[in-house]
Amino acid sequence: MAAGGDRPVIRRSTLREQIADALRDEVLAARLPSGHPFTVKEIADQYGVSATPVREALLDLCAQGLLEVEQHRGFKVRAFTADDFRAMVQARTLIVEGIFRSDAEGALRTAPGPVLVSIRRRAEEAERAARAGDLDVLIGYDLRFWRELSSIVNNPYISDFLDRIRVQTWMFAVPLLRREADLRGHLWQGHSALADALLRHDLDAAQRLIAEYNEHALAILE
State whether 211 and 108 are in the same domain. yes
Residues in contact with 47: Cβ distance below 8 Å, sequence separation at least 6, in sequence order: 7, 8, 10, 19, 22, 54
Distance from the first to the final alpha carbon of the chain: 30
Q: Which parts of the chain register pLDDT below 70?
A: 1-13, 102-109
Distances (CA, A) of 216 to 32, 39, 153, 190: 25, 36, 26, 11
State whether 128 and 154 are in the same domain. yes
State whether 161 and 107 are in the same domain. yes
Looking at 77, 102, 133, the residue that finishes a domain is 77
The parent domain of residue 72 ranges over 3-77
Looking at 47, 77, 107, the residue that finishes a domain is 77
State whether 205 and 101 are in the same domain. yes
Q: What is the pLDDT of residue 114?
A: 83
Whole-angstrom distance, CA of residue 35 vs CA of residue 17? 23
Closest CA to 149 of 98, 96, 103: 96
Residues in the chain: 222
From the CA atom positions of the chain, what is the Rg in Å? 18
Looking at 59, 77, 95, the residue that finishes a domain is 77
Q: What is the pLDDT of residue 127?
A: 97
Q: What is the pLDDT of residue 48?
A: 92
Q: What is the pLDDT of residue 30?
A: 86
Q: Quick one: CA dihedral 99, 100, 104, 108, positive or negative?
A: positive
State whether 133 and 73 are in the same domain. no
Closest CA to 12 of 52, 46, 53, 63: 53
CATH number at residue 72: 1.10.10.10
DSSP helix, strand, coil percent of the chain (3-state; round to 5): 70, 5, 30
State whether 139 and 209 are in the same domain. yes
How do residues 137-193 score in pLDDT, each as one tens digit? 999 999 999 999 888 878 888 889 999 999 999 999 999 999 998 999 999 999 999
